[in-house]
Chain A
Amino acid sequence: MRRYFGRKLLIYILTFFIAVTVDWMIPRFMPGNPITILISRAGLRGNAVSEMYTYYLDAFGLDLPIWKQYLSFWAAILQGDLGTSIYLFPTPVKDVILRAVPYDLALLIPSTLLSWWAGNKFGAYAARSKKLDNTLLPLGYILTATPYMWLGILLAWVFAIVLGIFPVAGGFGFDLQPDLSWRFIGSLVHHWFLPFASLFIVQFGGWAIGMRNLIIYELESDYSHYLEALGAPRKLVRRYAFRNAMLPQLTGLALSLGAVVAGALATEVVFGYPGIGYLILQAINNEDYFLIQGCFLFVVIGVLLANFIIDVAYLIVDPRTRTGMQGGAG
């Protein structure tokens, strides 16, 4: 057990190190100089601009040699300091991201998990059922091929503008102050529903098709035929097939959970939902090194964390992993 996790942990640390290094490098290879833009946007004039330029360079640590910048970047990260946003100067990146993260989690975790659960159930049910296979699965194919953006605009148009049941944009009513009241929570849910639905629907299609194909594959495998030959009830065979088919789906879930933090960029833009996806777009547009870094750092941490959770989940779900580990430890 300890060796299993020890090895995993080492891999995670290595991945983290490489990912963060790449994360640090990418914005610095982008063309353009964010400080010039910051100063120009503030409309500063005259000779004293060069003073401000130096001040900002110093404030962002961009005047240091590149290797020093890299080292101080690591030092800062380990202290939980992600720097100051350029585009939202002088707000610290950490604050910007922490304000956005709750919306992402609330939107993406439920939509990913529920669509995974419902999609798998439905896919397994649909497999080998002629009627469903012929009617509903084509629908699944269409859904999974639908761009989030397009479906989002469609939902917003029908439910918000034509029917007027849901709001068009925002994380909560523009007329509310955040507090712990039923009205506010109601407003949160109200605004959450359409973005959630657009994500759920598209992902649902994907999972359902994946599961259906896996189940068919499992039902065709030797152990299923053997069980059938032994006269096992059809229900039992399908249950075994389902458990086996779950494993690849679980890995798929790990990957999409990791991407949760990156946010569904398109969905957030369509619904004006204040999550990280929208921030990433803005940060790139504004050459905000630190915000881009911060956002991607969260993505990296998210992917690693999700993978770790799934590793643990595998132990529970897949007995072979446990056996393998005991063998290794013994």
Chain B
Amino acid sequence: MKRTTIFLVVLVTLSLLLGACQSATQAPVKPAPAATDAPAAAPTDAPVAEAPAVVDEPVAFERSETLYTSGTQWGPPSSWNPFNGGGYAMGTIGLVYETLYIYDPLADQFTPWLAAEDMKWADDTTLEIKLREGLTWSDGTPLTADDVKFTFELADPNGTYKASLNYIRLWNFLDSVEAVDDVTVHFKFNQTPYQEIGVFFYQTPIVPKHLWESKDVADITGGANEKGVGSGPYIFESNDQSRQVLVRNENWWGSEAFGKTPAPKRIVDIVNGSNNVALGLVLQGGLDISNNFLPGVASLVEGGYGVQTYYDDAPYMISANVATLIINEQKKPLDDVNFRRALAFAINTREIVENDYTGLVRAADPTGMMPTQDKYIDKEQLAELGWTYDPEKAKQILADAGYKDLDSDGFVEAPDGSKIELKVTCPSGWTDWMAAIQIISKGAKAVGMNIEPDYPTQGAWRDAQLQGTFELSIQNEAQMSSTIFNYYNWVFQNPATPEHISAAQFGNYGLYENAEAFELLNQLGSVPLGDDEALKEVASKLQKITLTEMPTIPLWYNGMWAQYSNAVWTNWPSAAEDANHYLPASWRGYWNLSGIQMLLELQPVPPQE
């Protein structure tokens, strides 16, 4: 036994040491990017001293200078490529790579960012964007109109790279991009797709030509872009399995242009674990802002745990997107509008909002328009055609359309006598959605529709949408945006153009066909930015279609989940009058929806005596 004991002790010690050393040996490798980036970025300032390749002193981030975020990354950071839309490390667009404009959805306002002033039309089809003077990349190279031209030309289907980036759609209307001088860019369009333009100018990250022109198309669209050089207020410093660390770019052009420098020296984004981990970190004060969905956070806000949300009471969160029941119109009986309509009346959205979310969300408007887009709702038409939870009405619609329970099993059969067995899905582990589809299933069964909840893995769930094999599912891809075009484009994306590629489908997964709706969508797209009256007119027609045809059923507004702590950083956004009203968001695509302005407003809490 003695020998075994010694053997055990040795093994335990060895394995512990091994663990420690393995992690430790990564040390010289990790800080290196900062070391190579820092001198160029900050020739005079301090950070150089902090990131030598070999350290004797541990590099610990001062708590009072570090902002801890989470809610964006679901796996170890593996891509720093701003064109990897759903997979890049937190802050890649917004903190490191910047866009020409920032769009603030709450104020419905564009703010010039890299651009110096609002977009203006040089002539009918030429859009002129002027850049700010003195923009630089973090390696010191000037950022000029050439970089902007280069960025947009990456997606030119007739250009050198032909990269299938998401702004390739812009090239449906775009003839060419010209750099007139160092700070002036001309976009020459062949027609005027006004509504969409705005979106591309606040979503497209400008990349440095001098570093990207040598890349091939696979590298541009799929490369990891490690140590990527951007123009933003932060620089990639290091990363490991559980976090991404960004360090402030001390030479950021914006410090001068806005007279403001972001206060946190470092931003550390923590990879999402389970809910209880995020909750624990918030309670321990380890996270300054958590953009995770935390069930029951209301009780923390009100229980004096030092947790703050945008609103002081229900719904606590800003609405960020519409959780929608998507329907596969290719499957029977979902191709029948009466069946879809009956389903809409059978769903108890209030129960989802109150029981499932305990009031953290709001029920969606039947039109699917977000609260910020309220002015585009045709209220009269809505009062006439809208729907609410009404099981009796649902039963009535089913009966009128010839759905009867022939075999007395409690569920109706289709008018042709065939049995109906449908599944409504959401990814396994998304507990709030899982509860929601249980409520949907319960409501449907109560009126005789045999709909069962089902929880595939996230990958299988997503794949079923792309391949069109799902039946009913929840999806919330239509996010806050500068134009309602985005929402309608998501609902009515025409699958018939030019050849359907499942992987490129974004929206309309049920492949719903309606020539009138597709035509109206095109009309909507060419309404000039700012012409609200024309927009309302087309929107009203589209709403008539969504309300009567029900290609999808909007259910509730998923929140811009954000809970923050005032322990280290303060001056967070809030609905209160004296506070700022930017989006408290670190999600992908949200830094450029005014999240970055929120960051500029943050202030350190003075140390307590």
Chain A positions near chain B (C-beta within 8 angstroms): 30-37, 39-53, 55-56, 85, 87-91, 96, 99-103, 105-107, 109-110, 113-114, 117, 153, 156-157, 160-161, 164, 167-181, 183-185, 188, 192, 242-243, 269-272, 274, 278, 282, 284-287, 316-317
Chain B positions near chain A (C-beta within 8 angstroms): 1, 3-5, 8, 11-12, 15-16, 18-28, 30-31, 55-63, 66, 68, 74-76, 78-79, 83-87, 157, 162-166, 168-169, 217-218, 221-224, 238, 240-243, 268, 270-271, 273-274, 276-277, 280-281, 283-284, 286, 427-429, 456-460, 462-464, 466-467, 498-499, 501-506
Provide the bound-state CA to CA distance between A89 and B218, in Å. Answer: 12
Provide the bound-state CA to CA distance between A100 and B26, in Å. Answer: 12
Residues on the B chain within 8 Å of A272, using CB: 242, 271, 273-274, 277
Residues on the B chain within 8 Å of A270, using CB: 274, 276-277
Contact of A46 among B168, B429, B467 (CB under 8 A): B168
Residues on the B chain within 8 Å of A30, using CB: 460
Residue contact A106 to B222, C-beta cutoff 8 Å: no
Contact of B30 among A117, A177, A185 (CB under 8 A): A177
Q: Measured between C-beta atoms, what is the minimum distance from A58 to chain B in Å?
A: 10
Provide the bound-state CA to CA distance between A195 and B162, in Å. Answer: 49
Provide the bound-state CA to CA distance between A49 and B506, in Å. Answer: 12
Contact of B163 among A37, A48, A157, A282 (CB under 8 A): A48
Q: Measured between C-beta atoms, what is the minimum distance from B276 to chain A in Å?
A: 6
Provide the bound-state CA to CA distance between A113 and B7, in Å. Answer: 10
Chain B minimum-CB-distance residue to A98:
B22
Given known contacts A40-B503, A46-B169, is B284 in contact with A164 (CB within 8 Å)?
yes
Residue contact B75 to A106, C-beta cutoff 8 Å: no
Residue contact A55 to B218, C-beta cutoff 8 Å: yes
Q: Measured between C-beta atoms, what is the minimum distance from A125 to chain B in Å?
A: 13
Provide the bound-state CA to CA distance between A184 and B283, in Å. Answer: 24
Contact of A90 among B224, B505, B506 (CB under 8 A): B224
Residue contact A317 to B4, C-beta cutoff 8 Å: yes
Chain A minimum-CB-distance residue to B237:
A177
Residues on the A chain within 8 Å of B84, using CB: 41-42
Provide the bound-state CA to CA distance between A181 and B169, in Å. Answer: 52
Residue contact B24 to A180, C-beta cutoff 8 Å: yes
Given contacts A85-B78, A176-B61, 16 further A-B contacts (CB under 8 A): A30-B460, A31-B460, A32-B459, A36-B467, A37-B462, A43-B506, A90-B224, A102-B18, A156-B280, A170-B242, A176-B59, A178-B23, A179-B55, A188-B20, A270-B276, A285-B428
Contact of B459 among A37, A46, A175 (CB under 8 A): A37
Chain B minimum-CB-distance residue to A278:
B273
Residue contact A49 to B504, C-beta cutoff 8 Å: yes
Chain B minimum-CB-distance residue to A48:
B164
Q: Measured between C-beta atoms, what is the minimum distance from B287 to chain A in Å?
A: 9
Chain B minimum-CB-distance residue to A162:
B283
Residues on the B chain within 8 Å of A85, using CB: 78
Residues on the A chain within 8 Å of B270, using CB: 169-170, 174
Residue contact B164 to A49, C-beta cutoff 8 Å: yes
Residues on the B chain within 8 Å of A107, using CB: 19
Residue contact A171 to B23, C-beta cutoff 8 Å: yes
9 A/B residue pairs, CB under 8 Å, sorted by A:
A36-B466, A42-B87, A43-B506, A44-B85, A89-B87, A167-B286, A173-B60, A274-B242, A317-B4
